[in-house]
Every structure is written in C-alpha cells, then in structure tokens.
Amino acid sequence: MWVFLQQMSYWDWLALGVILLILEVFGAGGYLLWIGMAAAAVGVLTFVLPQLPWEMQFLLFGLFAIATALYWWRRQRSAVRQSDQPHLNLRGQELIGKAFLVHEAIVDGRGKIKVADGVWLAKGPDSPVGARVKVIAQEGAILTVERTD
C-alpha cells in the first residue's frame, strides 16, 4: 500500500476525483464535490509536472481540499438573504397586531374569531359576538386576543 501511495500517477488522482464526484451524486450534500475537485486538480498538476514528489502531491491535495471547502463555505454564507416575508410558513404570526371580529363569543377565556375566510380559536377576556379584538400572541393554533374597545 505504501509503495502505491508513493507512486500515484495522474490517472490515480483523476480516478479518485471521479469516484468522489460519483459518490457526491448519491447525496453527500456538497462535501465530496470539493474534495473530488481537489483530487482532479492534483491529477492535472501531476500530468503537467510528472516529477512532482508524492509528498508534494498529498500536501497539494490537502491544501486544495481545504481551499475549495472554504470557498464553498464562504459562498454559501454570503448567499443567505433576509426574506421580504419573514413570517412565510409561520401560520398565525402574520396575524399578530391585527384586529378581527369575534365569531363565537369568548366565554371563560375561550372562543373563536373570524380571520379572512377561516375561523381561529381564541383565548382572552370575555367578549360578545361581533366585538373587535386584537391578536397579541399565538400559541400553536390558538390566538391570544385583547379587546380593542
């Protein structure tokens, strides 16, 4: 094994790169892509410089793998953007601060309010049907309301 590692040719590096890229297809999440690219880069350098010592080949492979991984990490971090709709997929969060009418009277702290074409469970101070309430919080499917008289 040691002799093989000391005599790696450009074909061996390119084969390692291709194997890593094939494994990436099976869902490694981008990790093997950059290591495979590093192996392919060492293969190209070994083709161009056939007398490159094996120690230098492995050192370059490690450096290229780290450099490409850092490049990808920085690129991914810079690609994160703030959404113009921060409450998207957080059902109920967009209702906080808005006023609605009581659909079923809130009695003993429980009732229902009409929101657009739907009805939500509500908890808050006792209120008759038709009273105006403001949503102040959300706990799962229950909206916490307060009177807006």
Q: Model pTM greater than 0.75?
A: no
Please say whether the dihedral angle defined by the alpha carbons of residues 93, 95, 98 and 99, taken in this order, is positive or negative. negative
The model's confidence at residue 9, banded by pLDDT at 50, 70 and 90, is confident
Residues 50 and 28 in one domain: yes
Q: Does residue 102 contact residue 122 with C-beta atoms inside 8 Å?
A: yes
Higher per-residue confidence, 134 vs 86: 134
Evaluate if residue 95 carries a pLDDT over 70.
Answer: yes
Beta strands 118-123 and 142-147 are parallel
Write out the residue range of the structural domain in which residue 138 sits.
93-147
Give me the chain's average pLDDT, please: 85
Weakest mean pLDDT among 30-39, 84-93, 104-113: 84-93
Higher per-residue confidence, 102 vs 28: 102
Beta strands 132-139 and 110-115 are unpaired
112-138 pLDDT, tens digit each: 999 988 899 999 999 999 999 999 999
Residues 75 and 98 in one domain: no
Please say whether the dihedral angle defined by the alpha carbons of residues 10, 16, 17 and 18, taken in this order, is positive or negative. positive
| pLDDT value of position 6 | 64
Position 137 in a domain: yes
Q: Does residue 145 contact residue 133 with C-beta atoms inside 8 Å?
A: yes
Residues 15 and 52 in one domain: yes
Position 107 in a domain: yes
Position 88 in a domain: no
Q: Does residue 129 contact residue 138 with C-beta atoms inside 8 Å?
A: no
The CATH number given to whatever domain includes residue 126 is 2.40.50.140
| pLDDT value of position 14 | 85
Cα Rg of the chain (Å, integer):
31
Pick from 56, 79, 102: which residue ends a domain?
79
Weakest mean pLDDT among 2-11, 52-61, 96-105: 2-11
How many domains does the structure of the chain reveal?
2
